[in-house]
Chain A
């Protein structure tokens, strides 16, 4: 196995409603979807956002789109209402997730 940045295997975008963020992760190639499902888990996403103390991370799978949708509760420090962050909507957060590393078998290319 060798490590590949998720950014090279998948794309996505962030949406927000109140203090809840949703982040889609979409495989560029269908053959990588299974590896993403196995490795981009609720637990790993919760770890990435640990400093924001989310109260829940829920992953929905959309295999026909080669996509996952992460819904992360109370991760926006209050969201557009409360957060002091320059990016109160959390628009940038998909790129925090895309910094994750995923293992692919030797010989498989992004």
Chain B
């Protein structure tokens, strides 16, 4: 039996990605023969905690705030062309997102789609506390969110039953692709090699433009034409699970062996054991091979048995962060900036203050200031001082902002452009729970 080919496009790699990414992907998918799927990945580690806070404030909220901007331009075309949509844009409220999608279809004047909701990832309720306490230890504190990374099975189940849109909360990012692949090819749940290949196809898709020239350009070394209009990826999945990466037609960006290698290794630790709920993927013998312009094949991925546990990310409130910045330019700028840093350290004794000299040394430095202390002044002429500290109390964090502001009149000569910021922090911890402790399901909503 020869199955029709399968194409999966990705139109978002994080919450906050470009909302005009989807139309070119959908236009390209519409012209392809075979099964077509559009995927949205919008949940970074802490996005769910922010969503959970939004849901507390408004029980109807808590899903991706840009859902309308992302989906509305392409929903009707996807439904008309039988392009399935899979996304984790449900965040802390998948049922709320599903309801919104049905309303959107109604507003667009198209027939109500079959929308499925994946359930079971949310472990923030009181009834799950003993499980989390066991996994994290007694001191779990006030939990904002706790979510298990679910796998591909419920997505595949919903698609097999005819879902046109599948709304998830937390699922492992590659599983958003593995679900439709499983539904299409009908592999066994323990076909580890194929699942490993499908997972790495999903891994290449999950960050959107990161495989098509985004997070890549380095003028003179890695030039990318049309980065302002970078196209999002489309991956063809073969019956073996091997895949070919390409991108939306008539867009900027590039897919070549270099972009695919960089994304293949992105956030990978041991290349022989990339753990997901579906499989342990192994890229130690993987090869990438350019087939033509903006077409690259990935081959040689293997798979091993999936882990017995599911990863859970727990978010808690993490106090407050105060920040402030002020700039110095011209003769003696670096010396004046360093003096401003010294003044702030004296004024803010008792806080663990990080001091950066933007333009001289910032990103590569360390919170303790070791590298900066060992870096001699170089008489740089345009330097921005940035300080940051965190504290359990908001008032203490606010002191950082106030002291930077006061440098206008009390600090070194010629300080300008103060910006300050006081923000609530969220901290995450990860743990593992037995797979059978998490009850996973999906249901079609009306």
Contacts and interface: CB of A to CB of B under 8 A. Distances in A.
A81 B367 CA distance: 13
A11 interface: yes
Interface stretch (B125-133, B148-156, B281-289): B281-289
A71 interface: yes
B268 A13 contact: no
Contact of A86 (B46, B218, B270, B363): B363
A67 B266 CA distance: 12
Interface residues of B, number: 50
Given A11-B258, A77-B366, A80-B45, A86 B386 contact: yes
B99 to A, nearest CB: 31
A84 B390 contact: yes
Contacts of A13: 215-216, 262-263, 265-266
B389 interface: yes
Which of A7, A20, A67, A93 has the most chain B CB within a 10 Å cutoff?
A67
Contact of A69 (B258, B268, B367, B371): B268
Contacts of B258: 11, 26, 28
Nearest to B264: A65
A74 B283 CA distance: 25
Given A22-B268, A51-B371, A64-B285, A81 B318 contact: yes
A78 B318 CA distance: 12
Interface string B359-375: 00011111110110010
Contacts of B263: 13
Interface in B276-307: 283-288, 300
Contacts of A12: 262, 265
A8 B390 CA distance: 39
A67 B362 CA distance: 28
Contact of B363 (A8, A51, A87): A87
B335 to A, nearest CB: 22
Nearest to A110: B221
B395 interface: no
Chain A interface size, under 10 / 10 to 19 / 20 to 34 / 35 or more = 35 or more
Q: Is the interface of A mostly helix, strand, loop or mixed?
A: mixed
Contacts of B366: 51-53, 77, 85
Interface string B375-398: 000000000001011100000000
B427 interface: yes
B356 interface: yes
A43 to B, nearest CB: 19
A67 to B, nearest CB: 6
Contacts of B362: 85-86
Interface string A1-22: 0000001100111011110101
Interface in A45-66: 51-53, 60, 62, 64-66
Given A22-B268, A24-B262, A26-B258, A62 B283 contact: yes
A67 B46 contact: no
Given A11-B222, A81-B318, A82-B427, A96 B354 contact: no
A70 B149 CA distance: 25
B419 to A, nearest CB: 12
Contacts of B321: 84
B309 interface: no
A83 interface: yes
B430 interface: yes
B228 interface: no
The interface centre, meaning the residue of A8, A15, A71 with most chain B CB atoms within 10 A of its CB, is A15
B365 A81 contact: no
Contacts of B262: 11-13, 24, 26
B269 interface: yes
B363 A18 contact: no
Contacts of A64: 285-287, 300
B261 interface: yes
B363 A84 contact: no
A51 B269 contact: no
Interface of B: 45-46, 215-216, 218, 221-222, 258, 261-271, 283-288, 300, 318, 321, 354, 356, 358, 362-368, 370-371, 374, 386, 388-390, 425-428, 430
14 contacts: A11-B262, A15-B266, A17-B269, A18-B428, A18-B430, A22-B265, A26-B265, A51-B365, A51-B368, A53-B366, A81-B426, A81-B428, A82-B427, A96-B364
Interface of A: 7-8, 11-13, 15-18, 20, 22, 24, 26, 28, 51-53, 60, 62, 64-67, 69, 71, 77-78, 80-87, 91-93, 96
Given A51-B366, A64-B300, 18 more contacts: A11-B218, A11-B258, A13-B216, A22-B267, A26-B258, A51-B371, A51-B374, A60-B284, A62-B286, A66-B261, A69-B265, A78-B367, A80-B46, A81-B425, A81-B427, A82-B427, A85-B362, A85-B363
